[in-house]
């Protein structure tokens, strides 16, 4: 199999050369065992191409390349120079914005105009942020002890870090990890998801074009059971960062612990609540919460999939919410095509995920006999499209309330007062994000204090900022990304004691 394939995206009149090889030492190479993975367009179920899948031996090569680059070059590269390289990378991302977004849409099915382009805009902003932060957030502290002694701390990079990213935001989640790790002075071996590897494989060559030395960034697509397992258990990897399901996150943490006790950052599942009090601006609450569950076809770890609405305004909110969903969230005017400018709901990622989500919907309808409102289903299609679905008056112990569905499915619950709302909101194993809608500033701040979640949005939802730390409580993970925390996560504190007393 060739290392590149010419692919076409006729909706945008784009033809480009898609890399298919592993990216190691700034070169695309075949896997050692010639194993390949076929990737499918979720909008039509058709094969796009196949790319090489990394074996354990390939992971060893990538880690060795990252180690050599760290020890010989990158650890000696100044923070200022790392910032210059990231700045160049940011410009290249901007120059390739339309193509990168198009590859994301082709491979993941996310709507091009309303999702994919916005992802690349955030990546540009993120890269610029860490380019500026490389020589500012890596500073330690001087600590005077007494007349004859002082100490200082150094924020030192871990060295070689492994990163495993999910399929819902292939480039965005990669960039959340890579740019902060590079700014902090680490080298990287990163594994994209099996079904959305194309965009990161193309993206990899931009590091070479920006001037990053060989081995600083290595991309090893492959199966989780092989490539992911090898990275998690590798004894020459100093840290691993993972975004994905809680179950797999637990496996990553166990492998990290039993190999070399490498540091771990985990961003795992979520079942985020959005609490709407009776004094809220309902039109604003409806706008934000509809976007919070239907954007990216509900395939967001932070999706506000649980809508807790005060009983006095429940019926009014529900009517407005259904209307908002009908008017703003659709498969587009020209059939089910994520490249259609009017498309705001794309397909879910795969047949496996399609069947999983439909299983939850059928369970709610048949087993639990819950009331639901489902928007107009798509026309007959070979793609994996699921209509936005709204279950009403769902009990707290429902499977649909407690488990992460990861699709365009909202569940609505009623509550009487603040205490009940808080109990319901905190009543899951997850704690990634939350939202509250109220015009009462005291109530909003009480909620922000009392909710067990890593992110709280007041009168908005799912509007992350690259300068603000992000991460979860409870089973939603460990550690933080973005902001200064996005560099701290890839830094260790070294303490140095200096004795200046006479002998």
pLDDT digits (tens, 9 = 90+) for 298-316: 999 999 999 999 999 999 9
The model's pLDDT over 400-420, given as tens digits with 9 standing for 90+, comes to 999 999 999 999 999 999 999
Residue 335 has a pLDDT of: 77
Task: Look up 267 and say whether it is catalytic.
Answer: yes
Check whether 40 has a pLDDT greater than 90: yes
Second CATH level (architecture) for the domain 273-466: 3-Layer(aba) Sandwich (3.40)
Give every CB contact of residue 204 below 8 A, 6+ residues apart in sequence. 19, 23, 217, 219
Distances 80 to 94, 138, 184, 354, 370 between C-alpha atoms, Å: 21, 11, 11, 46, 58
Task: Decide if 4-267+480-493 and 273-466 have a common fold.
Answer: no
Residue by residue, DSSP assigns 173-199 as HHHHHHHHHHHHT-EEEEE--TTS-HH
Half-sphere exposure of 166 (CA within 13 A, CB side): 20
- Residue 412's DSSP bridge partners are 307
Other Cβ atoms closer than 10 A to 43? 26
Average pLDDT over residues 55-60: 98
| DSSP conformation class of 311 | G
Residues of the chain with pLDDT > 70, as a percent, come to 100
Rg of the chain's alpha carbons, rounded to an integer? Answer: 23
Q: How many helices (H) and strands (E) does the chain have?
A: 15, 24
How far apart CA 353 and CA 183 sit, in angstroms, is 35
Averaged pLDDT of the chain: 97
CA neighbor of 179 nearest in space, from 195, 165, 193: 165
Average pLDDT over residues 370-382: 84
The model's pLDDT over 84-108, given as tens digits with 9 standing for 90+, comes to 999 999 999 999 999 999 999 999 9
Phi, psi of 487 (to 5 degrees): -95, -40
Average pLDDT over residues 467-481: 97
194, 267, 404, 481: the catalytic one is 267
Average pLDDT over residues 151-169: 97
Q: Pick the residue with more confidence: 138 or 292?
A: 292
CATH of domain 4-267+480-493: 3.40.605.10
How far apart CA 11 and CA 9 sit, in angstroms, is 6
How far apart CA 74 and CA 324 sit, in angstroms, is 51
How far apart CA 179 and CA 182 sit, in angstroms, is 5
Domain ranges of the chain: 4-267+480-493, 273-466
Check whether 385 has a pLDDT greater than 90: yes
How far apart CA 180 and CA 128 sit, in angstroms, is 11
Is residue 266 within 8 A of residue 254, CB to CB? The reply is no
Check whether 378 has a pLDDT greater than 90: no
Q: Judging by beta carbons within 10 Å of its beta carbon (0-12, 13-18, 19+), is residue 145 exposed, middle or buried?
A: exposed
pLDDT band at 159 (very low <50, low <70, confident <90, very high): very high
Whole-model pTM over 0.95: yes
The first and second tokens of residue 486, run together, are: 């996005």
Give every CB contact of residue 73 below 8 A, 6+ residues apart in sequence. 213, 215, 216
């Amino acid at each position: 199999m060739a290392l590149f394939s010419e692919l076409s995206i006729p909706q945008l009149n784009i033809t480009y050369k898609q890399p298919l090889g592993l990216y190691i030492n700034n070169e695309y190479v075949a896997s050692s065992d010639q194993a390949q993975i076929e990737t499918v367009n979720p909008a039509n179920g058709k094969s796009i191409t196949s790319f090489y899948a990394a074996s354990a031996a390939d992971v060893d090569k990538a880690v060795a390349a990252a180690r050599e680059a760290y020890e010989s070059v990158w650890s000696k590269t100044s923070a200022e120079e790392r910032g210059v390289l990231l700045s160049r990378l940011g410009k290249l991302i901007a120059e390739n914005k339309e193509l990168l977004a198009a590859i994301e849409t082709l491979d993941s099915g996310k709507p091009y105009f309303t999702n994919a382009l916005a992802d690349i805009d955030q990546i540009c902003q993120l890269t610029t942020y860490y380019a500026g932060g490389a020589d500012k957030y890596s500073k330690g502290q001087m600590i005077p002890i007494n007349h004859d002694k002082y100490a200082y701390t150094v924020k030192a990079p871990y060295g070689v870090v492994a990163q495993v990213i999910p399929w819902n935001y292939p480039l965005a989640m990669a960039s959340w990890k890579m740019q902060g790790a590079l700014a902090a002075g680490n080298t990287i071996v990163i594994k994209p998801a099996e079904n959305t590897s194309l965009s990161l494989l193309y993206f990899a060559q931009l590091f070479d074009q920006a001037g990053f030395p060989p081995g600083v960034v290595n991309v090893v697509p492959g199966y989780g059971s092989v490539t992911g397992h090898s990275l998690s258990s590798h004894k020459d990897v100093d840290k691993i960062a993972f975004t994905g399901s809680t179950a797999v996150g637990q496996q990553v943490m166990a492998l990290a612990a039993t190999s070399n006790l490498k540091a771990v950052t985990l961003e795992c599942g979520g079942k985020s609540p959005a609490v709407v009090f009776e004094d809220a601006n309902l039109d604003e609450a409806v706008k934000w919460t509809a976007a919070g569950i239907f954007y990216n076809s509900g395939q967001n770890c932070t999706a506000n999939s649980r809508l807790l609405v005060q009983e006095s305004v429940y019926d009014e909110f529900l009517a407005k919410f259904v209307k908002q969903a009908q008017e703003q969230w659709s498969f587009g005017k020209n059939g089910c095509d994520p490249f259609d400018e009017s498309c705001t709901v794309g397909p879910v990622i795969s047949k496996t995920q399609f069947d999983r989500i439909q299983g939850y919907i059928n369970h709610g309808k048949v087993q639990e006999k819950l009331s639901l409102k489902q928007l107009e289903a798509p026309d007959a299609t070979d793609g994996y499209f699921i209509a936005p679905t709204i279950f009403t008056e769902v009990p707290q112990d429902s499977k649909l309330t407690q488990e992460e569905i990861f699709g365009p499915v909202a569940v609505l619950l009623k509550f009487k007062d603040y205490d009940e709302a808080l109990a319901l909101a905190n009543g899951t194993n997850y704690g990634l994000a939350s939202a509250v809608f109220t015009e009462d500033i005291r109530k909003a701040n009480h909620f922000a204090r009392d909710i067990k979640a890593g992110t709280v949005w007041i009168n908005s939802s799912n509007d992350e900022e690259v300068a603000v730390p992000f991460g979860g409580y409870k089973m939603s993970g460990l550690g933080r990304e973005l902001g200064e925390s996005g560099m701290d996560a890839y830094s260790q504190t070294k303490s140095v004691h200096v004795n200046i007393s006479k002998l």
